[in-house]
Amino acid sequence: MKNRLVLVLAGAAVMTAACNKAEVSGQNGLDKKSAGDAVEIVVYGDAGAKTALDGSSVVWSAGDKMQVFWDGNTSGKEFRLLLGEGTGTGTFIGEPPADGADHYFAAYPSTATFNGSTRFDYTLPATVSYTKGTFAPGTNPMLSGTKDSFDGTFSMKNLCGVMRLKLKGSIEVSSLELTFNSYVSGAGYAYRGNNTLTMSGSSDADKKVIMTMGSPLQLSDTDFTEFYFVLPPGDYDGFSIRAVLPNNNSATKAVTSSFTITRSQVTTLEGTMPAPALSSRPELKVWSLNVTCQSNDDNSSWSSANYWSVRKAGIYAFFNTQSPDIIGTQECEYRQRVNILDNTSGYAAYGLGVDYGKESSGNSGGISWLPSYKDYNTDSSNAIFYKTSKFSILDQGTFWLSDTPSSVGSDDGHNCAWIKFRWDENGYIFYFFNTHFTAHYTDAAYAARKAEATILYDQIASINTENLPVIITGDFNATTTELCGEEKGDTRWSNYYWARNQDGKTSKTSYPTSYNNFTTTCSGFSSIYSSGTCTGGNSNIDGIVYRYFYENAKHGLKSGTFGTDFQAYGGVTYISDHWPITATLVFDYQ
């Protein structure tokens, strides 16, 4: 049986703040091996750097291997971590080195080579994997001091430093590519007695290091995400960062300030990644449709041809044919929302019920005919439907169009649902609001809409404090002329753009009489409202409103894209008592 020997390697501790440097320390680890004809090497952290960060210290990590060499020897002996993964003390195991050599050395990782005399050669990888809270395994090279005898004790020294790159932003990252003016990957070497790695690169490829994420990693707008890179020591005059998104778009950032990477220390840099550079401005087609409450089927004047049981096939066909990326719906009861989601693909929806503030098929319990009974399934909402494959939700909410916007059911159940979206393919962020104003044309109704116009404006301003692109869809039961006027609306709405007005090339605040074969937003099922809200001058009551888009001639509207969809779907002539309306909006670069 071979004798067991103990090898002790000293390390260094790590602690750093933004743009400061501090010693890197740690330990490293491997799977447990058989201890047959082998020696054990115990490695403990004593102000020394090992192979993975753990908070303010570096620890040995699973899979770590090191190589022990001696004078005249070029092959060395490999030692693997046996015990101590995740701690400062690791027990390594391997075949003992030859006896009687003049000098012994230990090198990490085990891929390091020795020329048998004075030079050790290393390779810094050009591609590394993201590891949360630390650098990639096996990327932090070390070399021990020279020992005149193999007594089980070595003092390990880091040959490189660590850059902690802290990034914020709104993008999702598949990989990071860092490009420097000096060599940071490929071949490098160190001499015995000298604890600094010198790079010997030969091409531009050796000036880059790429970190892959495994699965895409979403950056945060508010909190930094940390990425750790092992770099050769020296002075750097900046570098560039290229973040590759899942769709292969990329965002780039130039770091122009100089900094120094010091051996066995961590240097922290931080910044915000921009949105990806695009060859053209993104365009988003949006829709609005009042689907009409299923509860209207109980209306004695309602034709059975217009019951939800008949119309729903047309609604499903509309969704599946037009495939809207985002659509604001009004008068969408929860049971209708469930029907639509069950008969379409790839959608989710949000919007609290106008009366009870729920998204539920349940009820309040109790006896159904009592006034206190609440049937959440039949509660109407201003539900926003969106494709989950294209957008992520950053925030969402619902407010009521009353003096107490957070009071559920106030203003006779008129509310506004909103979502702060991230468009995943390009990282762009925008707000989408969807609402429904009071109907009818009495003095009381005009007064209600005037108040609702003011409340909606104020609430949007309080939510969209960043002045991000904002889209508002709704059944306003009023024309632009009314809503932007002092008598029946709020003149501040002239700060926004109304899609039909922009495309119709008329006044910003008054409707064109017709445009794009578009004369009305209300179908009225042809006859149901023959003397009601969907005829004559009151027919243009649905709208798509926007602001903070690309300042083209139409302030962000793509020319000729606003219109109505008069088609029959699924054999249903009138899918609602309103027509679907649509517009395509052009984003400016973010």
Distance of CA 577 to the CA centre of its chain: 38
In this structure, the answer to whether residues 425 and 497 fall within a common structural domain is yes
Region 53-75 average pLDDT: 78
- The CATH number of whichever domain residue 582 belongs to comes to 3.60.10.10
Check residues 337 and 306 and name the one with the higher pLDDT: 337
Domain carrying residue 358:
283-586
Q: Provide φ and ψ at 273, rounded to 5°.
A: -80, 135
Q: Which residue has the higher pLDDT, 149 or 525?
A: 149
Q: Examine the domain organization and report whether 298 and 235 are in the same domain.
A: no
Could you tell me if 537 and 396 lie in one domain? yes
- Residues 321 and 266 reside in one and the same domain: no
Q: What is the pTM of this model?
A: 0.60
| 315 domain residue, yes or no | yes
Tell me: do 292 and 219 sit in the same domain. Answer: no
Indicate whether 94 pLDDT > 90.
no
Helix runs in 292-436, H state only: 308-322, 334-342, 410-413
| Residue 277 within any structural domain of the chain | no
Give a yes or no: residue 32 inside a domain. yes
Residue 367 parent element (H or E): none
User: What is residue 157's predicted lDDT score, i.e. its pLDDT?
Assistant: 85
Instruction: Output the pLDDT for position 530.
Output: 35
For the stretch 403-455, pLDDT in tens is 999 999 898 889 999 999 999 888 889 999 999 999 988 999 999 999 999 99
- Does one domain contain both 292 and 244? no
**Same domain flag for 401 and 539:** yes
Classify strands 326-330 and 283-290 as parallel, antiparallel or unpaired: parallel
In a domain, 310, yes or no: yes
Does residue 2 fall inside a structural domain?
no
Q: Are residues 54 and 145 in the same domain?
A: yes
* Number of structural domains in the chain: 2
Helix/strand/coil for 276? coil
Domain final residue pick, 272, 301, 322 = 272
> Is 278 within a domain?
no
Same domain (yes/no): 81, 223: yes
**Does a structural domain hold residue 539?**
yes
Residue 43 lies inside a defined structural domain of this protein: yes
Which residue, 235, 252, 272, sits at the end of a domain?
Answer: 272
Pick the last residue of a domain from 235, 250, 272.
Answer: 272
One domain for residues 88 and 166: yes
Q: Are residues 268 and 289 in the same domain?
A: no
Same domain, 445 and 567: yes
Q: What is the mean pLDDT of residues 495-522?
A: 67
pLDDT digits (tens, 9 = 90+) for 576-587: 988 899 999 999
For 106, residues 6+ apart whose C-beta sits below 8 A from its C-beta are 7, 9, 66, 67, 68, 69, 143, 144, 154, 156
